[in-house]
Each structure stands twice: as C-alpha cells, then as structure tokens.
Amino acid sequence: MSYCRFSSLNWMCDVYVYEDATFGGWTTHVAGNRLILAPIPTLPVMPPFGGTWDREARRIVYPSRWRERLARACTHLWLASHRLTLWCLDVIPRRPIGLKHDGESFSDGSPGDCADRLLRLRAIGYRVPDSAIAALQAEQRAIDAQVDSHADQA
C-alpha cells in the first residue's frame, strides 16, 4: 500500500512511500528533481449519476437518458483534462531539487519511524503530504494499542 506517490499534491510531491511487501518495512524514495511549476490538475472524478453495471449488457445503465448524456459528457471532459495534465508533465521543465537526500531511498522498520523520517525530510525542504504522515502515525498508534492490549492480557 502506498501512502503517497510522486503524483500526489498534483505531481509536486517529492517522496514515494509504501509498505514494502517484498523486503518488509516501509520504504521511502526521494525524488532527484521536480517540476518548476505545477501542471494543470485533472478534474476530479465525476459521480456516476445513478448508473448501475448491467452484467448481461456489459455496460453501465442509467435511470434516464439525460443522466447518461451527462455522464458521457463529464467523462469526455475528465479525459480531456487528464490529457492536458499529461501534456503539461511532458512540457514543463524539471530541475534538480538540490537538497541533501535527492534520489536516495530509505527503509524503516515501523510506520512511526517512517513518519518521523518524512517529518525530517519536510523540515529540510522536501514536499511531503500531510496525509502520508498522518496515515503512518495512525498506523503506528494502532500497532502500539495492539501491543499494549496483548501486554495487559499477559
């Protein structure tokens, strides 16, 4: 499971953080460069407008024709905005970040240690989402609570 990717924060995130199922622990990759400005963001995903999946027809069926048309129009709008974002990623120049840990990778033994590392990386100037730190800290609190409950039972 990833806590954040380079695409987080509208492609302005400097870290990619995930729980490493292969080697264990929590892995953090630090970017070596970043975009000089943020790309035009992709529009948020639109609601399904009451559509349901029809297995037999193998398509989404809507309760009315106007809802189907609205859903299709929104899908086309979303695709156009996504293509614009991808185009921006191709044409916006990147520059080296210029900080101590550019391009490095780290492995931590617990989500709490990983959260602490992200706080240190943020303190020296890397862009790290609050949500990644909060999720790792919450996971560490859950682990600590589980350990405490087992200790109380013993």
What is the pLDDT at residue 84?
Answer: 97
DSSP secondary structure, 93-110, as one string: -EEE--STTTT-EEEESS
Confidence at residue 152, expressed as pLDDT on a 0 to 100 scale: 67
Q: Assess if residue 99 is contained within a domain.
A: yes
Domain hosting residue 81, numbered range: 52-91
| 100 and 83 in a common domain | no
Alpha helices in the chain (DSSP H): 8-11, 65-91, 111-123, 130-153
pLDDT for res 1: 83
Tens-digit pLDDT profile for residues 82-125 = 999 999 999 999 999 999 999 999 999 999 999 999 999 999 99
Residues 29 and 62 in one domain: no
**Same domain? 32 vs 100:** yes
The answer as to whether 46 is a domain residue is no
Which pTM value belongs to this model? 0.82
Domain shared by 25 and 100, yes or no: yes
Cα–Cα distance, 8 to 118 (Å, whole number): 14
In a domain, 100, yes or no: yes
Tell the burial category of 56 from Cβ atoms under 10 Å away from its Cβ (0-12, 13-18, 19+). Answer: exposed
List, in order, residues 6 or more apart from 102 with CB less than 8 Å away. Answer: 30, 31, 32, 33, 96
Same structural domain, 79 and 100: no
- Tens-place pLDDT, residues 33-72: 999 999 999 988 777 788 889 899 898 899 999 988 988 8
pLDDT band with cut points at 50, 70 and 90 for residue 154: low
Any idea what DSSP says for residue 62? -
Indicate the number of domains in the chain.
2
Handedness of CA 22, 26, 32, 38 (dihedral sign): positive
